[in-house]
């Protein structure tokens, strides 16, 4: 049998199973849901056993979901949440979100997203990842790690996972880069905000309570300045 030439087309490669049929993706989603239940139960028990301050952990969960890990960790550190709790809450929450939502996001990337609010949200997530893809691509897995490590808006574990998928990375490479980048970022932020809290307390202990809002205001200011600068460059 002669080797393929320019006149003899190579046999087509096997297509990747669709998100709905891939057993690995299904197991990933089930693992994510199981770990999410265990994680939520742990936080609830923690809040019952030691209600001050852990009964207010739900606030950190919402802050992480809607405002990012920087604000969530700043609030936790400022209000006396222990390092172990913040590692369990902040360090694990985005990882669980990736495990649960990676399969439906892959389906959205394949054009199989359902309709309704959830389907539109998945499409928006895919579009966000598309915008960041060119920044990550030159460095491959290292670029993905850096993308997840630095805690800017739209650079969380879930978006990082989608970027890795869009770049054609293997699932284990995507998850290894995202997991390590996210957890190490959380550790660095914990130590950084601990140092900031101690420094602020030297001058005014009451100011520590406003730490998360100071951080949020700085993030908004940086985002506005960046947007203004990009618009100015586009006009010139």
Q: Is the peptide bond preceding residue 53 cis, with omega within 30 degrees of 0?
A: yes
Residue 68: the pLDDT is 84
In the predicted structure, residue 152 carries a pLDDT above the cut 90: no
In the predicted structure, residue 9 carries a pLDDT above the cut 70: no
pLDDT winner (highest mean) among 3-12, 47-56, 131-140: 47-56
Residue 217: the pLDDT is 73
Structure tokens at 195: 């140092």
When comparing pLDDT for 11 and 117, which is higher? 117
User: 33-37, 69-73, 133-137, 193-197: which has the minimum mean pLDDT?
Assistant: 193-197
* Residues in CB range of 32: below 8 A, 6 or more apart: 96, 97, 98, 99, 100, 101, 102
The model's pTM: 0.76
In the predicted structure, residue 141 carries a pLDDT above the cut 80: yes
Residue 12: the pLDDT is 42
User: 60-74, 147-161, 168-182: which has the minimum mean pLDDT?
Assistant: 147-161
In b/e form, how buried is each residue of 57-95, taking b as 16+ CB within 10 angstroms?
A: beebeebbeebbbbbbbbbbbbbebeeebbebbbbbbbb
């Amino acid at each position: 049998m002669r080797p393929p030439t320019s006149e003899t087309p190579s046999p087509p490669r096997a297509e990747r199973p669709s998100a709905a049929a891939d057993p690995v993706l299904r197991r990933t989603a089930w693992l994510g849901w199981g770990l999410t239940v265990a994680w939520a139960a742990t936080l609830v028990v923690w809040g019952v056993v030691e209600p001050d301050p852990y009964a207010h952990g739900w606030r950190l969960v919402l802050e992480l979901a809607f405002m990012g890990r920087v604000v969530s960790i700043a609030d936790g550190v400022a209000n006396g949440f222990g390092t172990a709790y913040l590692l369990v809450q902040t360090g694990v929450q985005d990882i669980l979100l990736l495990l649960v939502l990676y399969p439906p996001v892959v389906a959205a990337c394949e054009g199989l997203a359902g309709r309704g609010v959830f389907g539109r949200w998945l499409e928006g997530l895919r579009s966000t990842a598309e915008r960041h893809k060119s920044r990550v691509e030159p460095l491959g897995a290292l670029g993905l790690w850096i993308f997840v490590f630095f805690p800017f808006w739209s650079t969380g574990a879930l978006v990082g996972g989608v970027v890795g998928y869009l770049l054609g990375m293997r699932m284990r490479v995507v998850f290894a880069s995202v997991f390590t980048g996210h957890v190490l970022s959380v550790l660095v932020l914990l130590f950084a905000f601990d140092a900031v809290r101690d420094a602020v307390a030297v001058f005014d202990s009451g100011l520590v309570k406003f730490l998360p809002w100071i951080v949020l205001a700085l993030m908004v200011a940086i985002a506005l300045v960046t947007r203004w600068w990009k618009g100015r460059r586009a006009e010139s």
